[in-house]
Amino acid sequence: MDNLNGAKPHFVIVPLMAQGHMIPMVDMGLLLASRGATVSFVTTPVNAARIKPVIDGASDAGLPIRFVEFKLPCEEAGVPEGCESFDLLPSVDFRKPLFEAISLLREPLKLYLEEAKPRASCMIADICNWWTTEVARELNIARLVFHGPSCFFLLSSRNIHQSNVYETVADEHESVVVPGLPQRIEITRAQAPGWFFEWKEMQERVMEAEEAAAGVLINTFQELESEHIALYIESTKKMVLPIGPLSLYNKDAKSKATRGNKPSIEEHQILRWLDSMEPRSVLLVSFGSMVRTRPPQLIEIGCALEASGRPFVWVVKEAEKCADVEKWMSEGFEERMRARSLVITGWAPQVVILSHRAVGGFVTHCGWNSTLEAISSGVPMITWPHSGDQFLNEKLVVQVLRIGVSVGIKVPVFHPEEDKVAVERDAIESAIASLMGGGEEGDERRMRARELGEKACKAMAEGGSSYKNMTLLIQFALEQCKQ
Ligand code: UDP
């Protein structure tokens, strides 16, 4: 461990069981362990089985990280057995019960902490795990919160909430200017309704959990959002440490491919295909772990990809594939696209793909992990937000960083049951043309993306801003050991 004179802090990480939260927190745990800290990572049987290659890899490398399995009381909370992560839920109606089930880990966590050796010096809890506040307080353990979204989103949401700006408009589709940002950014309440807007009680608990925390960790980097980070510190008056992009912890294709689920394609297969493509020529289309695209919209995307004339990797989820889509694909599309496409059904090794030199563009739902992974690889984006923090992330990518082209969607897609087409093929095709071509404007966009990618790598390398913040985090935990 660097300059810590042999002393070792013990971090206990309590993630939210959702891929978009779990994946960066696993990276964070591995990173802390690789720098010599002892780490206990809380998980459950289904989640542990999903990340078995990570657990085995950490053990083979002798990293001081243990994955602590607690049984998730699904039945007690009304969650179908085995659905231990948000992406595994059969319907959105089970979201609240799953939050409830996770909060029931309070007692086993407390017991673990009471007996942990060495004693836990610092807890890092996902912001959604508000119930950890009480556990940490009772046991007198310092607690930091981990934020999955961008600082731009956190600051915007905070300012919107504190200013009550939505009360100045009658309609949820009427734009307001987000107060207190260095840029003029307009948003609607429908696009950015705020944390847990439908569950007021949960919203208050999450805000209290942040208020009570000794500090805040964000998966971002100083050079990407410096103005927003400074304003967020000013507003929260807390220790705020940008420690990302955490995905850059994974250096080789093998470790990149172990993030999340088991990929439905071998990494050497995808690498062979990408190796055969021209640099920066391929478009990746993938919408994270939660979005479910309905058949008519999938067909619309397929038609746009065909019309674009560009090579592409298209990730279609198991849950999205259905007889209609399979029939449409087999009636000519697959055959016509064979030479220039790879359709991955299931989980794709996203970072393996994004970090390959053949990839020149990414059609994304603007989940923060996906956005930051594209930024880390210097890949510009077509932004297609669906809900949550994604519309604000789109503003950051398109208006502030100017490394993206919006597909033009204005209204969130909350009800994937609906068979409506939200974006027509012509709009998708035109966004592809301007992202992958786009003349001088396109070249400048690509150049900005490339520069940000370089800055991201520097931030994570020894001596970089996120590396130094990790050191501060470790030192903070060491201070707690002395108290
Ligand atoms: N991901 C992946 N393969 C897939 C789908 C998603 O590796 O086929 C990863 C992606 O790289 C990212 C995470 O899952 O790390 C998704 O997080 P994000 O915040 O982008 O979106 P969410 O799933 O939370 O909507």
Contact between 349 and 330 (Cβ < 8 Å): no
pLDDT band at 387 (very low <50, low <70, confident <90, very high): very high
Q: What percent of the chain has pLDDT over 70?
A: 98
- 478 Cβ below 6 A of ligand 1: no
Side chain identity at residue 236, one-letter code: T
pLDDT band at 251 (very low <50, low <70, confident <90, very high): very high
Closest residue by CA, ligand 1 atom 6: 288
Residue 170 CA to ligand 1 centre (angstroms): 35
For 45-79, how does the pLDDT look when each residue is reduced to its tens digit (9 = 90+)? 999 999 999 999 999 999 999 999 999 999 999 99
Contact between 403 and 452 (Cβ < 8 Å): yes
354-368, 412-426, 466-480: the lowest-pLDDT one: 412-426
**Helix (H) / strand (E) containing 212:** helix 200-212
Q: Which is nearest to 383 in space by CA: 292, 353, 391?
A: 391
* Per-residue pLDDT at 275 exceeds 90: yes
* Per-residue pLDDT at 6 exceeds 60: yes
Contacts of 226 (CB under 8 A, 6+ apart): none
* Per-residue pLDDT at 1 exceeds 60: no
pLDDT, average across residues 362-382? 98
Q: Which atom of ligand 1 is nearest to the CA of 347?
A: 8
Give domain limits for the chain.
10-249+458-482, 253-457
Residue 171 C-alpha from the chain's centroid: 30
Complex ipTM tops 0.85: yes
Pocket probe for ligand 1: among 370, 392, 394, the residue whose CB has the most ligand atoms within 8 Å is 370
According to the model, what pLDDT value does residue 420 have?
82
Q: What percent of the chain has pLDDT over 90?
A: 91
Q: Which atom of ligand 1 is nearest to the CA of 370?
A: 20
Contact between 380 and 354 (Cβ < 8 Å): no
According to the model, what pLDDT value does residue 198 have?
80
State the chain's mean pLDDT as an integer.
95
**Helix (H) / strand (E) containing 192:** none
pLDDT band at 417 (very low <50, low <70, confident <90, very high): low
* Per-residue pLDDT at 287 exceeds 70: yes
pLDDT, average across residues 261-271? 94
- 27 Cβ below 6 A of ligand 1: no
According to the model, what pLDDT value does residue 438 have?
84
According to the model, what pLDDT value does residue 274 have?
98
Q: In what order do the strands lie in the sheet with 282-286?
A: 341-345, 312-316, 282-286, 359-364, 381-383, 404-406
Q: How far apart are CA 345 and CA 458, in angstroms?
A: 34
20-24, 197-201, 282-286: the lowest-pLDDT one: 197-201
How is 70-113 classified by DSSP, letter by letter?
----HHHHTPPTT--SGGG-SSGGGHHHHHHHHHTTHHHHHHHH
Choice between 341 and 1, residue whose per-residue pLDDT is larger: 341
According to the model, what pLDDT value does residue 5 have?
60
Q: How far apart are CA 412 and CA 99, in angstroms?
A: 23
pLDDT band at 346 (very low <50, low <70, confident <90, very high): very high
Q: Which atom of ligand 1 is nearest to the CA of 18?
A: 24
Q: How far apart are CA 411 and CA 419, in angstroms?
A: 15
For 161-174, how does the pLDDT look when each residue is reduced to its tens digit (9 = 90+)? 999 999 999 999 99
Q: Which CATH number applies to 253-457: 1.20.120.1200, 3.40.50.10190, 3.40.50.2000, 2.170.150.20?
A: 3.40.50.2000
According to the model, what pLDDT value does residue 253 have?
92
pLDDT, average across residues 398-417? 89
Q: Which is nearest to 354 in space by CA: 343, 362, 346?
A: 362
For 190-227, how does the pLDDT look when each residue is reduced to its tens digit (9 = 90+)? 999 987 778 888 889 999 999 999 999 999 999 999 99
Closest residue by CA, ligand 1 atom 11: 350
For 285, the 3-state DSSP assignment is strand
Residue 20 CA to ligand 1 centre (angstroms): 6
Q: How far apart are CA 395 and CA 366, in angstroms?
A: 10
According to the model, what pLDDT value does residue 413 have?
82
Q: Do domains 10-249+458-482 and 253-457 have the same CATH topology?
A: yes
CATH superfamily of 10-249+458-482: Glycogen Phosphorylase B; (3.40.50.2000)
For 94-110, how does the pLDDT look when each residue is reduced to its tens digit (9 = 90+)? 999 999 999 999 999 99
* Phi, then psi, of 215 in degrees rounded to 5: 180, 175
Q: In 317-388, at which residue ranges do the beta strands (DSSP E only) sit?
A: 341-345, 359-364, 381-383
Could you tell me the sign of the dihedral formed by the alpha carbons of 363, 262, 351, 148, in that order?
A: positive
- 245 Cβ below 6 A of ligand 1: no
